[in-house]
Structure 1
């Protein structure tokens, strides 16, 4: 038979009371000091009119079907990541214009890819698998090295199987410092224009939009940033220095 929460609490409290009594503590209530008053948020410019157009989106906000690629048994482990990237990049350039030099150069490099990847000729990096959507099935995460001389050095894409259809659920490009997987989330660290800081964006699955969304985007202190040297102790002000006495002969 399981103990009730009340009985368990009594068992845990009793030794504490005996110990406190042995130390001469009267066991009365003690004040923890004043509690700050809760304040409601203050709304600024309440009469500000709504924007005429939405802001530019950071990466994709909708899922995109990838046609021409079969997924046997819905298992993405059985699909060549290079085949997926080639089909997707050809049909869906994402954030890149087909006339853009970066797109043309990357597409030309993808054409040289065989079945292998992550070599000098093929820009597709080694693939990773993780359940991002929470359906219990592994999804596919790939990275594509972009042509040199471009501010965005890596295109990151993620794919899932939705209703037996291979679907792109995430696509973004940035000057990437590192990528991490934590639970169902993809964390991207990118270069910031502010020295000693970097961008940290957390991409999470949104069941309504059926895609990964940048749910957290912040600028943080870089772990590799040099630590600020402690300032030297200031010297006493001139007025604080002892004045010469009259007997000093000055």
Structure 2
């Protein structure tokens, strides 16, 4: 039978008194000193009329159905990541086709992807599968190198009504990518020595897309070591994994 609240409180007090008696003064509670007075924020320029629309269009919501790629069984693991990148490249020939294209080397090296993503000189990196949308099914996080240069394209895809939908995209010089909960965290080098950028996208059920929820500049010296990937974060061993593969 569970204890009532008064009984649990009395038991807790007795336990604390017993611990204090056994330990004496050693390890007892000590005052931390006076608490600083809370200061409320100062609102500047209250006479300004609040803006009703953004000054710049930065594309906060990136959501697009990938044309030409279907998911007949509804399992995103059946989708070939290389085919997805090839589809994106095909839609921007000016960026990837020809020696003078900004990412012409990426376009040429796509021919090296016959063995799958993450193999040899293929610019498509190893894909990862994890539920980022909260629907209980894995979503696809993939990246591909944009060459020449040192930028990497990061994309997130989900499946809706057997259609592949892109819900996040970002291109940048990248020093690390992490998945945490419903978020994608990207770390990028800064031009300020000793600092790096940390950007976080989080799934938003209303917009049905990953929204940029945090944009910070942090000191690299205070950065904690990146934890080992969660067991629910699993790379794909091949570009076309078996439908029977276990869901992370």
| Alignment match, 2:80 | 80
| Alignment match, 1:212 | 210
Do 1:80 and 1:115's aligned partners in 2 also have CA atoms closer than 8 Å?
no
Label 1:206 to 1:54 Cα distance change in 2 as closer, same or farther (>3 A): farther
Q: Distance in 2 between matches of 1:82 and 1:22?
A: 66
Label 1:119 to 1:17 Cα distance change in 2 as closer, same or farther (>3 A): closer
Label 1:116 to 1:48 Cα distance change in 2 as closer, same or farther (>3 A): same
| Alignment match, 1:237 | none
Q: Distance in 1 between matches of 2:127 and 2:72?
A: 18
| Alignment match, 2:163 | 165
Equivalent runs, 1:151-230 vs 2, <5 Å: 153-223=151-221
Equivalent runs, 1:42-81 vs 2, <5 Å: 42-49=42-49, 50=51, 53-57=54-58, 61-81=61-81
Bigger relative CO (Cα 8 Å, ≥ 6 apart): 2
Label 1:9 to 1:224 Cα distance change in 2 as closer, same or farther (>3 A): closer
Label 1:113 to 1:224 Cα distance change in 2 as closer, same or farther (>3 A): farther
Q: Per-residue deviation at 1:18?
A: 4.9
Q: Per-residue deviation at 1:224?
A: 9.4
Do 2:96 and 2:106's aligned partners in 1 also have CA atoms closer than 8 Å?
no
Q: Per-residue deviation at 1:143?
A: 0.7
Do 2:65 and 2:166's aligned partners in 1 also have CA atoms closer than 8 Å?
yes
| Alignment match, 2:6 | 6
Q: Per-residue deviation at 1:212?
A: 0.9
| Alignment match, 1:228 | none
Q: How many residues align?
A: 215
Do 1:62 and 1:209's aligned partners in 2 also have CA atoms closer than 8 Å?
no
TM-score relative to the length of structure 2:
0.73
Q: Which runs of 5+ in 2 are unaligned?
A: 224-248
Local SS of the residue matching 2:73: helix
Q: Per-residue deviation at 1:113?
A: 3.1
Local SS of the residue matching 1:126: coil
Label 1:56 to 1:98 Cα distance change in 2 as closer, same or farther (>3 A): farther
TM-score relative to the length of structure 1:
0.73
Structure with max Cα Rg: 1
Taking only aligned residues, the RMSD between alpha carbons, in angstroms, comes to 3.2
Do 2:96 and 2:104's aligned partners in 1 also have CA atoms closer than 8 Å?
no
Q: Per-residue deviation at 1:51?
A: 7.6
Q: Distance in 2 between matches of 1:187 and 1:175?
A: 14
Local SS of the residue matching 1:6: helix
| Alignment match, 2:101 | 101
Label 1:76 to 1:24 Cα distance change in 2 as closer, same or farther (>3 A): closer
| Alignment match, 2:242 | none
